[in-house]
Amino acid sequence: MKLFASLDPKDRKLLIGCISAVVVLAVIIALFARDEDRDDNPLPSTYLTGRHGARAAFEMLQANGYNVERWEHPLSELAAKTDTQTVVIFAEPNPTSPEDFKAVEDIVARGGRVLLTGWMGGALAPDGNVKPSTQFAAACKLTPQGLDPLAGSGEVWMVPEAAWGLNRPLDRVEYNCVGAPAVVEYASGKGEVIWWASSTPLENGSMQRAENLNLFLNALGTPQNHHFYWDESLHGEVFSDWYYARGPALLLLESGLAGIGLLVIFSFSRRRGPVRDLPAPVRATPVEFLEALGSLYGEARASSTAVELAYERFRRRMADLCGLKGSSLSADELGVAVRRRFPRASEALEKDLADCQTAMGDETLQPKKALALVQALSRHGEALEAAARAGLRQ
Read off the pLDDT of residues 318-376 as tens digits, 9 standing for 90 and up: 888 887 776 777 888 888 888 888 888 888 888 888 888 888 878 788 888 888 888 88
Instruction: Cite the DSSP H helix spans in the chain.
Output: 9-32, 55-63, 75-80, 98-109, 118-124, 212-220, 241-244, 248-272, 286-300, 303-321, 331-341, 349-359, 367-390
Per-domain boundaries in the chain: 9-33+248-270, 55-244, 286-390
d(CA 71, CA 58): 12
Helix axes 286-300, 303-321, angle to 10 degrees: 120
* pLDDT reading at 285 higher than 90: no
What integer pLDDT is reported at residue 247 of this predicted model? 62
* pLDDT reading at 237 higher than 60: no
* pLDDT reading at 292 higher than 80: no
What integer pLDDT is reported at residue 106 of this predicted model? 95
Say if CB 203 and CB 54 are below 8 A apart. Answer: yes
What integer pLDDT is reported at residue 226 of this predicted model? 94
What integer pLDDT is reported at residue 193 of this predicted model? 96
What integer pLDDT is reported at residue 271 of this predicted model? 54
Helix axes 349-359, 303-321, angle to 10 degrees: 140
Of the pLDDT bands very low, low, confident and very high (cuts 50, 70, 90), residue 238 is very low
**Virtual CA dihedral for 345, 348, 351, 352, nearest 10 degrees?**
-90
Say if CB 140 and CB 177 are below 8 A apart. Answer: yes
180 three-class SS: strand
The count of C-alpha atoms lying within 13 angstroms of the C-alpha of 352, restricted to the half-sphere facing its C-beta, is 24
* pLDDT reading at 121 higher than 90: yes
d(CA 227, CA 84): 10
What integer pLDDT is reported at residue 146 of this predicted model? 78
- Range scoring the smallest mean pLDDT among 98-112, 231-245, 257-271: 231-245
Where is mean pLDDT largest: 3-7, 133-137, 163-167?
Answer: 163-167
d(CA 116, CA 226): 18
Cα three-residue angle 337-342-347, rounded to 5 degrees? 90
Q: Once rounded to an integer, what is the mean pLDDT over residues 20-43?
A: 71
Burial class (CB in 10 A: 0-12, 13-18, 19+), 286: exposed
What integer pLDDT is reported at residue 218 of this predicted model? 93
Model pTM greater than 0.85?
A: no
Its CATH class, for the domain covering 55-244, is alpha beta
Residue 88, H or E segment: strand 86-90
